[in-house]
Structure 1
Amino acid sequence: MATPRTQGEIEAAVCEGMTKFEQEFMGRGPQDIHTYLIGEMLVIRLQDVLTAAEKHLVRTLPPEKGRDLLKQVRTQLIELARPTLDAMIQQTTGAEIVSLHHDISTVTGEELVVFILSRSPTIREPKRRDRVETKNA
């Protein structure tokens, strides 16, 4: 069994894996990404993910049609890539994937991906550095 990671190490590895996925599968990585491990829930927030073509689509079609079309396409792409994403998350957390939830905002370009895990990942406490106290002379 691999050495357990800290929560921060798990979150950083998921950010790295999702950024790589977005770049390779979607053609563009997020401007910013944060992952939050909350018990058995893994929340990934990606910012500024829309491609130039997607932004153009949303701007030129009627609001509801552009939004709905973009959400459908992105959701379909996530579903097609689900085995790849599940494998990355399982390898990183050591837990099975129970479900995946996804949404994207065509207004802000923000995307949320939520994985529900079969259990909370085993984590270790980060190593503490001893602090050296200094006194003012």
Structure 2
Amino acid sequence: MSQQLLEKQICEAFIKFQRELVGRGPEITKAMICRDMVVLRSRGVLTKEEKHVSSSNKGRALVKQLRMELRESYLERIEKIISDITKCQVMSSHGDISIRTGEQIEVFILNTDLEKKCK
């Protein structure tokens, strides 16, 4: 399978997963395969309520804490989705969200150089 097609499938699966989880998906998501990593960058991930609450420092901290707890709760499921699509084992994953910009990043470390495998 081509790298471009894999990136598209990963992107679509992640957006679908986020819609089911949060009730809405990100405005824009881009998936990139780089060696043994899958990087997902999403923009416009905050809900209206989260945007409203994050107008203060305390609110931003609360929204960030909530989103990081949410990530921990779905981590195994999203890693399985990535593994199923790539046919590689996810060795570890890392994620963060910027409440200020409404961007989220997810990085999945695989047991295989997927970029090389796609060529």
**TM over 0.5: same fold?**
yes
| TM-score of Structure 1 vs Structure 2, range by shorter chain | over 0.9
Structure 2 unaligned regions, length at least 5? none
2:38 paired with 1:39: no
Q: Letter of the aligned partner of 1:112 in structure 2?
A: I
Aligned residue pairs, count: 117
Whole-angstrom CA distance in 2 between matches of 1:32 and 1:81? 20
The whole-number CA distance in structure 2 between the counterparts of 1:66 and 1:118 is 38
Aligned-residue Cα RMSD (Å) equals 1.1
Contact 1:32 1:46 in 2 (8 A): yes
Tell me which residue corresponds to 2:20.
Answer: 24
Deviations 1:36-71 (A, max 9, x none): 100001110001010011011101xx31x2222212
Query: TM-score, normalised on structure 2?
Result: 0.92
1:95–1:120 Cα contact (<8 Å) kept: no
- Structure 1 partner of 2:52: 56
2:118 to 110, 113, 123: 123
Q: Which residue of 2 aligns with 1:91?
A: 84
Which residue is equivalent to 2:68? Answer: 75
Q: Which one has a larger percent strand, Structure 1 or Structure 2?
A: 2
Larger radius of gyration: 1
SS at match of 1:81: helix
Any unmatched runs of 5+ in structure 1? 125-137
| SS of structure 1 residue aligned to 2:118 | coil
| Shift of residue 99, structure 1, vs aligned partner | 1.1
Please state how far the C-alpha of 1:19 moved relative to its aligned partner: 0.3
Q: Counterpart of 2:3?
A: 7
Q: Partner letter of residue 81 of structure 1?
A: Y
Instruction: Tell me, in whole angstroms, the C-alpha distance in 2 between the residues paired with 1:25 and 1:103.
Output: 17
Match of 1:133 in 2: none
**Separation of aligned partners in 2, 1:19 and 1:27:** 11
